[in-house]
Structure 1
């Protein structure tokens, strides 16, 4: 079995996409590319510019001119990649709660998605890539050699996200995280442009009750790689 040259991983927030995507890319020697960081970067830019989040035209105009770059990690601080916004390292700034609050709304704007999708496709066409997001298999890379849809219950995803935030020293309750994820799921799944859903030919992996190693093993098997040593 030939190892797929392009791999699309989709799924709801905190389903484990980035964690598995990073490990899979490392194992295969591929580029890991989390497309969600682009929308976070645009959202951060909108907030910093003081643009009305509800002004779709202005938000779209900014998305079309802002410069976003993604590179291999340059600092060993837990980051999966470097994210640059107009030359500034915003790798951690895009994880700010205010960005988290508005990213789903901004990523639902058609013009914003078109601007980001163009860049994502160019990167995907290079091959040897594990691309992670919410519309990779359905919109960005519909011809990907392998499509995986990672899923998990809302409660499991909230628990994972809560633990991540607590480890970073943020003050938040599990209930707040759960409510936020539920709202985000609703927005992502009901938007008119590229709603969150599995591609028809995607392999669905439910990660409830599975360790990272167990999910990685399943992904590697789908790639034709036996074991995860």
Structure 2
């Protein structure tokens, strides 16, 4: 069973994916971390996240087992990851890695921007998780505050809108709901309600 969750930043798809994976005893891959890791590698080299050659080189050598999630979180990394994710060569380099993870015996849960449309178009269940930009910005704002980052809400909202525009308009695997995806709007749902709704979708499928 392959479960694909897609959606924009801070929609709740990552938290949902983790809970769903735990519910069914399946491995989980947050594909956004892959792009954050590429961005981190590019920055560590002293290059710009928009540097196609540098980003492609880091993506080609990426080791999933060596991902350091603590270094990959934060506002700076989110913006940098969105930039490298728009580079076709980076997406191509990470394609096989994601497909191999999904092909594990028994299945897997993957969340990202193009799981149901590009990585796993034949996924057993596809869920597109969304919420209004304002609600998503509030969630991300609280998350960043919890990490000790000092940032204004207006800046978080502007970043959310900027990433939405970039993710939806890029030429390589733009953010979009698959035609057969189930829409899950979490604007008015807490995580428990969203989780129960997702389980209902999976159960019906």
Q: TM-score, normalised by structure 2?
A: 0.95
Determine the structure 1 residue equivalent to 2:18: 22
1:159-170 equivalences in 2 (<5 Å): 159-170=138-149
Q: Any residues of structure 2 matched to 1:1-229 within 5 Å, and which?
A: 5-65=1-61, 67-70=62-65, 84-85=66-67, 90-126=68-104, 127-224=106-203
Decide whether the 8 Å contact of 2:99 with 2:120 is kept in 1. yes
Query: How many Å apart are 1:33 and its aligned residue?
Result: 0.9
Structure 1 unaligned spans of 5+: 71-83
Q: After superposition, what is the alpha-carbon deviation per residue over 1:73-130, rounded to whole angstroms, capped at 9, x for unaligned?
A: xxxxxxxxxxx24xxxx21111143322211111111110011111000010114311
Contact kept? 1:12, 1:134, Cα under 8 Å: yes
Larger-Rg structure: 1
Range moving further from structure 2, 176-185 or 56-65? 56-65
Separation in 2 of the partners of 1:28 and 1:166?
32
Q: Can you give the 5+ residue segments of structure 2 that lack an aligned partner in the other structure?
A: none
Q: Distance in 2 between matches of 1:55 and 1:176?
A: 25
Deviations 1:9-45 (A, max 9, x none): 0000000001111111111111111111000001000
Structure 1 residues 223, 54: closer, same or farther in 2, change over 3 A? closer
User: The residue matched to 1:92 in structure 2 has which SS?
Assistant: helix
- DSSP-derived class of the 2:156 partner: helix
Alpha-carbon distance, 1:63 to partner: 1.7
Report the number of matched residues.
203
Whether contact under 8 Å (1:41, 1:68) holds in the other structure is no
Greater percentage in helix: 2
SS at match of 1:131: strand
Once residues 126 and 76 of structure 2 are traced to their aligned partners in structure 1, the CA distance between those partners, rounded to angstroms, is 31
> What RMSD, in angstroms, separates the aligned Cα atoms of the two structures?
1.3
Q: Pick which of 6-15 and 20-29 moved more.
A: 20-29
